[in-house]
Amino acid sequence: MGAVIAAILVGAATGWWTRSPWAMVLAPVTFMLVFELARMRVDGPTVDGIRLDGLYGVMALVAGRGVDAVLILLPMMVGASHGAALARRRRGPGQVEPRPHLVRRTGLGIATVAVLALLAGLLRPASTTPVVDADGDPIPGSIAELVDVPIGGHDQSIMLRGVSADMPVLLYLEGGPGGTGIGRIRNSGENLEQSFVVATWDQRGTGKSYDALEPAVTLTLDQMVQDTIAVTAYLRERFDEDKIYLVGSSWGTVIGTLAVQRSPELFHAYVGTGQMVDPFATDRLMYAESIADADARGDTGTADTLRAMGPPPYDDTLDYPVAIASNPRWMNFDHGADYHADSEYPMSLFVSEYALIEQLRGMAAIAETYAVLYPQLSEIDFRSQVTRLDVPVYLVQGRHEAAGRGTLADEWFELLSAPRKEYVSFDRSGHTPPYDEPGRFADLMSGVRAATEGEP
């Protein structure tokens, strides 16, 4: 909000000073040049050199500079135009200001309305609706909150929802790094709310916690594990629970597994979905799988692109989505009957739990946080580093999971020692069973609760 108002004022001052319509160009171009020069020393996929050679480069451009243009350049242009017009109207007696051309006036009117709408949108507070019964009435004793909690020296956001605040607590760790699970769980987690207080944490640098990214030098894998344990401590104290349930998805399984290994006494059970074991080995397997699939489909363009890139790891993190997310087979399958397409990015960002600025910055947060954290996972291999967990372990894998992930998860599960371990396969799921088959996942979690709640 402050940046938008400042941009309007700077534009208006420039227009007043120049008394020329050219202020609409002068002010934003000058700002853009200064801004680009100032951040040349900053690294990150949304501020690096522009890449238009693929979908993810375009997405980084839109999520970064595109959002900046909406928040800064458009308000500055509108302010400059109004400032120049106001200055010209204050000319001395006898000086007549020519009436602006109809097209120009119409364009300025539309742009002004757009900026006013932007300001109104930025004023809209984020909120989560009450948990309601079949008649749409709030359920007594239920909980529906968005809270900011000081974690690791930064305020980080958590969504809390459940039909009763007295139920066991489930902490959900979204994938990424950089993903935000609040919108995804909001769209697909209603059944979970019947058996748990579902705590969906936007990790540092993600979603509603996007502004906690800096200083990026302190955003480390170890810090993320410490943050997971700190969030767990908050939930245990807030809800007077000795232990909670921990569910990790994809990247969330990395920090979840390490948190359980470090502090098993805090958790009833660990549930891994889309379990990661050795991320960099998975990348190489998925790269090879993508080439083989492209060859089989006769998609020579994709196959040639991948071969030209070479196998991972990559210096530019924008190459990873091309190498490990370009295989259509990993998404083109029959999901569960209760699958919600709006649980996928970017549609999952358009829920009331996010303020407008969080919606606009959501995809940029994924790219920026991924670029900081993902290279730190090069030494992770749970097959040698985590061969025992002192809590019940449930692995929930989709039948349509990429072989590069599933094979390593199977190997780890066979090696793992735990008080109880169970491997569950979801026939109509891929990498994200909680979203691909949300009802079935909620039923499974009810079973996990029944099997473990009374255990010491």
Cβ neighbors of 437 (< 8 A, separation 6 or more) are 335, 336, 338, 339, 426, 428, 429
Buried b (16+ CB within 10 A) or exposed e, 384-409: eebeebebbbbbbbbebbbebbbbbb
Residue 99 has what pLDDT? 56
Report the alpha-carbon distance of residue 229 to residue 203 in Å, rounded.
Answer: 12
Number of residues that make up the chain: 456
- Closest to 281 (Cα-Cα) out of 375, 378, 376, 373: 378
Alpha-carbon torsion (223, 224, 228, 231), positive or negative:
positive
Range among 291-295, 305-309, 351-355 rated most confident: 351-355
> Lowest mean pLDDT: which of 52-61, 183-192, 283-292, 366-375?
52-61
The pLDDT confidence band at residue 67, using thresholds 50, 70 and 90, is: confident
368: its two tokens: 């920026």
pLDDT, one tens digit per residue, over 222-248 is: 999 999 999 999 999 999 999 999 999
Query: Do 329 and 323 form a contact (C-beta atoms < 8 A)?
Result: no
Mean pLDDT, rounded, of the chain: 90
How far is residue 263 from each of residues 200, 228, 230, 268, 297, measured CA to CA in Å? 20, 10, 11, 11, 47
Residue 273 has what pLDDT? 98
Q: What percent of the chain has pLDDT over 70?
A: 94
Is pLDDT above 80 for 46?
Answer: no
Residue 97 has what pLDDT? 53
pLDDT, one tens digit per residue, over 420-433 is: 999 999 999 999 99
pLDDT, one tens digit per residue, over 172-226 is: 999 999 999 999 999 999 999 999 999 999 999 999 999 999 999 999 999 999 9
Burial category of 411 from C-beta neighbours within 10 Å (exposed 0-12, middle 13-18, buried 19 and up): middle
Report the alpha-carbon distance of residue 364 to residue 61 in Å, rounded.
Answer: 9
Residue 101 has what pLDDT? 61
Residue 326 has what pLDDT? 74
Residue 229 has what pLDDT? 98
Report the alpha-carbon distance of residue 282 to residue 284 in Å, rounded.
Answer: 5
Q: What are phi and psi of 39, to 5 degrees?
A: -100, 15
Is pLDDT above 80 for 297?
Answer: yes
Parallel/antiparallel/unpaired status of strands 244-249 and 267-273? parallel
Residue 30 has what pLDDT? 83
**Averaged pLDDT, 44-58:** 73
**Averaged pLDDT, 293-306:** 90
Is pLDDT above 80 for 47?
Answer: no
Is pLDDT above 90 for 387?
Answer: yes
Higher pLDDT, 49 or 373: 373
Residue 85 has what pLDDT? 81
Q: pTM, whole model, 2 decimals?
A: 0.91
Q: Which 8-state DSSP code applies to residue 165? A: T
pLDDT, one tens digit per residue, over 83-107 is: 888 887 776 554 545 555 666 678 7
Query: Do 278 and 381 form a contact (C-beta atoms < 8 A)?
Result: yes
Residue 428 has what pLDDT? 97
Higher pLDDT, 35 or 197: 197
> Lowest mean pLDDT: which of 37-46, 111-120, 326-335, 369-378?
37-46
